[in-house]
Every structure is written in structure tokens, then in C-alpha cells.
Chain A
Amino acid sequence: MSEAAKPRVVVVGAGPAGIRAAEALVVGGLVPVVIDEGERAGGQIYRRPPPGFTRPPEALYGSETAKAIALHRSFDSLVGAGRLVHHSRSSVIAIADGRLQVIGDAGARWMSYDRLILATGAMDRVMPMPGWENAGVYGLGAMQIALKAQGAALGRSIVLAGSGPLLTLLAVQLLKAGGQVAAVLDTASMRQQLRGFSGLAARPLFALRGLMMRRSLGRLYHAGVRLDRIEADERGSAVVLWRDEAGRSQRTSCDAVGLGWHLRAETRLADLAGCDFAYDETWRQWLPQADAMGRAGRGVYLAGDGLRILGADGAEVAGRLAAAACLQDLGLPFADISSERRRLARLNRFARGIAEAFPWPAEAAAGLPDDTVVCRCEGVTAGELRKTVEFGGGEVNRVKSLGRVGMGRCQGRYCELAAAEIVANAAGHACAAAAGRLRGQAPVRPAPISTLIQDAATGG
């Protein structure tokens, strides 16, 4: 096949899924285009610091160092050899008629594709709590990024709260780097954590490593916690008020708080690409639908945490599978992937165990006081949200038009899941799924109006 006749496959995202997908496409004889928001490929988990930083990879990626190095090297060598085209610091903000609208430092442009692989990853899943709108409250992932990519802690004394593997991992990483952790508050009880154990046994080494890390935290770690509120002053001092497993009120002084309950999938582009969605009871979120290889129809393939939250190892496998499916559909040679599919099934069992052991505390949403800010972008409170239910019924898109929850600059990424629980509870629905799914809207990232004017002027 001549270069010009080769189908154009675009991969969005250069984390573990996007890198492995691009690599497999190259092996299949294509020259994929990779669009990624990062400066350098790696995604969030294997994010690389800017040039000039000197910590060795072991200090950044710990037990996952070999995987990080392998991914970075593979991608960089393919870019260096001209086997793929990498658009870094670029965001896809819209998809229409088989074309992507891409913005980067040079402005906006439309790019056509024959096949599209979306590897858009995930972000912190957050349950609002009174006071979380204050400066100094961050996602757990944000605190890890500050440490990894900037060598910095976002406070002198940090409370980490939420649940999931990152809670413990981040605490250990901060302490090891010389940061101060005031408390690690896990909303999952020991009983819940044991319940997920059979799933976790699908990866015994991984589970054991987590337990060892947990043990090293000693008395900093508290399970079965209820979070009441965060109080903060102008200069940055804060206190977290919480209740321990026995129900006793506790206060922990700090100047920064990290919050996170595992992850939520980044699905906005899958939505714009026309993928079907279904509510997943385990993850309590709407996830795009694809076959076991990642085929989502209409020439679109999905891979990584944006499809199923399996973590970095699962993302590598899913990236290879999606690329294999794409090559197969194009009638091109593709690698044998039967062992990869077995691996994915095991990772899936483990991920379900994680979801069970460290659950999203959906019931906390119903109990949020009326004056709690739910939408951080526009300061919309739980009470205002509940009031819109009386006018609009318990449906999230109606609630959005009436109450603006989901209309702010993050487009609901950080409030949508809690808002759905609140709406469902106020409307008397049995499950958040009954409150519906927030429709995606382009642009999926804020874009300077100047780039869009420029785009219109050049005829796009």
C-alpha cells in the first residue's frame, strides 16, 4: 500500500492505552496520528516531568518503573523514526462528520480520520463535602501529579480522604518524598474492604503490596470514616472535621486536603462520537459500550480507563486489543491477541474487587446539607439542585438547564456523579441511573473564542 493510500487512524490520548494502540498500528503497517494534551507522552500515571528535572525514574514510578520506561522509550523511538505523527499539547474539542476539531498552541483545525481510537483515560471521582470549594482542596490525582511532575507538595500538612488504591499509594509517596501527611481518612470500612477480597486475589502481588503500604502508614490511617466538612481561612489554614468508625467526632488541622474515590472515566469524546452508553452498577457511572476488543461502532474504538477502569496494566492490554480490532477491520495483518484477552478478564475481576472493597459512598450524597456546594465551577449548592427537581422532575439534563449543574467550565466532570445521586434521591428514584445521563456538548474543553473565529475565517 502506498503511503497516500493508507487509511488514517487517529489515536486520542498518549497514556498506556494510546501508546500501546499506536505501537500496534505501526506494526500493522500504518502511520497513526496521536493527539495528546500532555507535553510528552505517558498519560497521567506515567507522566514525565519537564526537561531539566533530574529525579531518576525509580523515584517517580516506584514498582512500575520498568513499565513506564518501556512505554516512554517505545513511543519516543516511533516518533523519532517518523513512524507516527505526534501532536502534543493538543486537545480534541469536537467530533462531527468523521472529523475532529483539534486545538493546540497554534490554534484550531479540523482533521479527518478513517478510524478513531479513543484512549482518553480517567480522572478523580469526587464526592462533594461541605467546604470542598475552598482553595487548597485538590483531587488525589492532582496531588500525585504535583509530586511527580513538579517535585512539589500542595501543602505543608496534608489530609488525604476518600477511598481506593491511590489513597494509600499517594500517602506513602508523599511521606517518602519528605512531605507531611496529617491523616489518611478512608470512607471504606474494614468490612467493606474484606468483601472485595476475593476479587483482589486475582492479583495477589498487587493486593499484598497495597497491604504493606497500608501497614507502613500506621496510625495515620483510619478506615470507616465519615467526612463532615472542611473549614479553611484566607491564609490557607484548614481543618477537616470527620467521624471515626465508632462515630466519635474528630478534627485534623492541615493546610491542604486531597479528595478522591478511585476514578471516573473520561467519556465526553466517546459521547460526541456517537457511542452507546450503559449504566454500570459496579462503578455507579455511565460507561460507553464496546465489544471485548473495544469496537464501539462507526469506525470508533475505545481503550483504557475511558472505557473500563482497569488501571494502567489493563489500559496497555486494551490499547493493543483496540488496535488489533482496527487493523482486522481494515483487512490488515494483526497480532495474535488471545492471551491478551485472558489477561484482560483477570484484570477485570481485580477491578471489580477494587470497586467493591473501596466503594463510592453514594449514600453520602443524599445526606449532604443544603448549603454544600456541589458544582464547584459555579457554586451551585445541593439545596438549589434539590429545588430544581420539583420543577423539572428527576432528570439530569432538565436539572442542568434549570440549575446549571453540569453547565460550568468543567462540564460536570467533577459534580455530575454526585449530582445524579442527589437528584435521584430527591426524586425518589431507586438508583442514580434513573436520573439519566448528562448529554455531552462540544467543545469538551473551553476554547479561546479567537481560535474558533480564526477557524471560521479560514473556512475550517
Chain B
Amino acid sequence: MSMAAGEAGGRLVRLAETDRAPLRFFLDGAERRALAGDTVLSAVLSVAPALRRSEFGLEARAGFCLMGACQDCWIWQEDGPRLRACSTPLAEGMRLLSDAPREWP
């Protein structure tokens, strides 16, 4: 991977600090790779253009403030609870969903 390139389909471009240990996570069931020290937001956006769908419009959302103030970056987990992606460190094996679980009313 060249320094100023991101993964295909990802929004985020890693410009530095690329020598960190790899971490594995799952997005919509598919295994993905990120780096130790990534936030959930960085990890997901390094492989996808957005985090979730808007509940009130057609557009996708990918976070806005990155400092825990705007609440735009909530993302679903397979086991239910949502995370604020910008302020949650990625943990090995996290299972994330870009849309609400099916049983969600």
C-alpha cells in the first residue's frame, strides 16, 4: 500500500502511522483489517465510504465532528448496543453493522 493511498472503497486515507499492528474486525459479516490504535470510525471508513444510513433521509452518514459532540457517527454492533464510532477504540474481533439488525422495530 503506498503511503497516500486508501483501500478500494474506503474513504479514509492513511497518511502516517502505518506501521502499527494489524487488527481484525467484521463489517456486515465480512472480515476486514485495520490497525491497532484506530478508532471504530477510522477502521470502518478505511474500508467503506460511510458508517450507516441516515434515519431521516436517503443519504449515508460518515461522522461529522470527530469529537463526540455531533452524534452523527453511531454505528450498530451485531449484539445490539450502538457505539459512537469517533470516540471508541477498535477492539480485535469487533462485529459491526452498517444498518440496524433485522429484529430492530
Q: Which of B38, B46, B59, B64 contacts A414 (CB 8 A)?
A: B64
Is there an interface contact between B37 and A50, defined as CB atoms closer than 8 Å? yes
- Give the nearest-CB partner of A375 in chain B: B56
Please count the residue pairs between chain A and chain B whose beta carbons lie under 8 angstroms apart in the complex: 151
Q: Which of B6, B39, B62, B70 contacts A413 (CB 8 A)?
A: B70
B36-53 interface with A by 8 A CB criterion: 36-39, 42, 45-46, 49-51
B1-57 interface with A by 8 A CB criterion: 3-4, 6, 9, 11-21, 36-39, 42, 45-46, 49-51, 54-57
Is there an interface contact between A123 and B56, defined as CB atoms closer than 8 Å? no
- Give the interface residue-count category, chain B: 35 or more
Is there an interface contact between A123 and B49, defined as CB atoms closer than 8 Å? no
Is there an interface contact between A133 and B57, defined as CB atoms closer than 8 Å? yes
Q: Is the interface of A mostly helix, strand, loop or mixed?
A: loop
Complex interface: chain B residues within 8 A of A179 (CB) = 4, 13, 15
Is there an interface contact between B49 and A376, defined as CB atoms closer than 8 Å? no
Complex interface: chain B residues within 8 A of A154 (CB) = 11-13, 45, 62
Given contacts A150-B17, A152-B42, contact A178 B3 (CB under 8 A): yes
Is B68's beta carbon under 8 Å from chain A? yes
Is A146's beta carbon under 8 Å from chain B? yes
- Give the nearest-CB partner of B46 in chain A: A152
Is there an interface contact between B11 and A142, defined as CB atoms closer than 8 Å? no
Complex interface: chain A residues within 8 A of B62 (CB) = 135-136, 154
Is there an interface contact between A133 and B69, defined as CB atoms closer than 8 Å? no
- The answer for the CA separation of A149 and B68 in the assembled complex, in Å, is 14
Q: Which of B13, B14, B36, B66 contacts A138 (CB 8 A)?
A: B66
Is A460's beta carbon under 8 Å from chain B? no
Is there an interface contact between A446 and B11, defined as CB atoms closer than 8 Å? no
Q: Which of A139, A146, A410 contacts B71 (CB 8 A)?
A: A410
Is there an interface contact between B72 and A123, defined as CB atoms closer than 8 Å? no
Given contacts A156-B6, A413-B69, contact A150 B42 (CB under 8 A): yes
Is B95's beta carbon under 8 Å from chain A? no
Is B81's beta carbon under 8 Å from chain A? yes
Q: Which of B11, B65, B74 contacts A123 (CB 8 A)?
A: B65
Smallest Cβ distance from B44 to chain A, in angstroms?
11
- Which of A17-25, A52-60, A314-322, A420-428 binds B? A52-60
Given contacts A53-B17, A54-B19, A156-B13, contact A124 B3 (CB under 8 A): no
Q: Which of B18, B51, B60, B66 contacts A141 (CB 8 A)?
A: B66
Complex interface: chain A residues within 8 A of B89 (CB) = 39, 50
Complex interface: chain B residues within 8 A of A305 (CB) = none
Smallest Cβ distance from B94 to chain A, in angstroms?
15
Please, how many residues of chain A have a CB less than 8 angstroms from a CB on the other chain? 59
Is there an interface contact between B59 and A123, defined as CB atoms closer than 8 Å? no
- The answer for the CA separation of A177 and B4 in the assembled complex, in Å, is 9
Is there an interface contact between A377 and B71, defined as CB atoms closer than 8 Å? yes
- The answer for the CA separation of A236 and B62 in the assembled complex, in Å, is 10
Complex interface: chain A residues within 8 A of B9 (CB) = 235
- The answer for the CA separation of A182 and B81 in the assembled complex, in Å, is 38
- The answer for the CA separation of A5 and B49 in the assembled complex, in Å, is 55
Is A323's beta carbon under 8 Å from chain B? no
Is there an interface contact between B66 and A146, defined as CB atoms closer than 8 Å? yes
Complex interface: chain B residues within 8 A of A232 (CB) = 59
Given contacts A145-B67, A154-B45, A410-B70, contact A379 B56 (CB under 8 A): yes
- The answer for the CA separation of A121 and B3 in the assembled complex, in Å, is 33
- The answer for the CA separation of A359 and B99 in the assembled complex, in Å, is 39
Smallest Cβ distance from B64 to chain A, in angstroms?
6
Interface string of A320-350 (1 = CB under 8 A from B): 0000000000000000000000000000000
Smallest Cβ distance from B68 to chain A, in angstroms?
6
Is there an interface contact between A178 and B4, defined as CB atoms closer than 8 Å? yes
Interface string of B61-89 (1 = CB under 8 A from A): 11111111111101000000100000101
Given contacts A53-B37, A154-B45, contact A145 B15 (CB under 8 A): no
Is there an interface contact between A151 and B56, defined as CB atoms closer than 8 Å? no
Is there an interface contact between B69 and A266, defined as CB atoms closer than 8 Å? yes
Q: Which of B39, B68, B70, B81 contacts A376 (CB 8 A)?
A: B70
Smallest Cβ distance from B9 to chain A, in angstroms?
8
A388-438 interface with B by 8 A CB criterion: 408-410, 413-414
- Give the nearest-CB partner of B5 in chain A: A156
Complex interface: chain B residues within 8 A of A410 (CB) = 69-72
Q: Which of B14, B37, B59 contacts A135 (CB 8 A)?
A: B59
Q: A124-B65, A135-B61 are in contact. List 20 more A-B contacts (CB 8 A).
A: A39-B89, A53-B17, A134-B60, A135-B49, A135-B60, A142-B65, A145-B66, A150-B38, A150-B39, A151-B14, A151-B15, A179-B13, A234-B60, A235-B9, A236-B49, A236-B50, A378-B55, A409-B71, A409-B72, A410-B72
Report B's interface with A, CB cutoff 8 A. Answer: 3-4, 6, 9, 11-21, 36-39, 42, 45-46, 49-51, 54-57, 59-72, 74, 81, 87, 89
Chosen A-B contacts, 5 in total, with CB atoms closer than 8 Å, are A54-B17, A136-B49, A146-B66, A232-B59, A410-B70
Report A's interface with B, CB cutoff 8 A. Answer: 37, 39, 44, 49-55, 59, 89, 91, 123-124, 133-139, 141-142, 145-147, 149-156, 177-180, 232, 234-236, 255-256, 266, 373, 376-379, 408-410, 413-414, 445-446, 448
